[in-house]
Amino acid sequence: MDYFYILLALIAGILMPVQPGINAQLSSLVKDPFLASTISFAFGTIVLTLFCLLVRVPWPSWSTIASAPWWLWTGGALGAFFVTATIILAPKIGAVTMLALLVLGQMVASLVLDHFGWLGYPVHPISFWRLVGVIFLIVGVLLVQKF
């Protein structure tokens, strides 16, 4: 695997607990987690748009956009749910418990997506060792929650 992608994944992982903390503080300031999510997404949209313009990412044609299946547009809604959920969870359960539960949920969903090859993922059948890994995560979540 290319080291760039490993580094990118590590940086994204490091930033995962930072984003909810920042957004929870924003929520506290504006007094609403949904408004904080809206502000966060608006700023993110501005940053991404400027980046795309700066590096001259070619925009697709309107016919290409119109031909996309309806479910391709749900990614933004899923992101909005995720960000808003972390804004609500971070101050209630803390970073470690929140991230442990998020990772557990990600692993369970990933097992299913990989097993069936849904959403374009390569097929990797559920195996004994993959299940053992998820069980270890469940144990980890319980330990983090208890101590």
How many CB atoms lie under 10 A from the CB of residue 85? 15
- Contact between 119 and 113 under an 8 Å Cβ cutoff? The reply is yes
DSSP summary character for residue 56: T
State the pLDDT confidence band at 1, using cuts at 50, 70 and 90.
low
State the pLDDT confidence band at 144, using cuts at 50, 70 and 90.
confident
Alpha-carbon distance of 39 to 85, in angstroms, equals: 15
Extents of the domains making up the chain: 16-93, 94-147
- Contact between 36 and 87 under an 8 Å Cβ cutoff? The reply is yes
pLDDT higher for 144 or 129? 129
> Whole-model pTM?
0.85
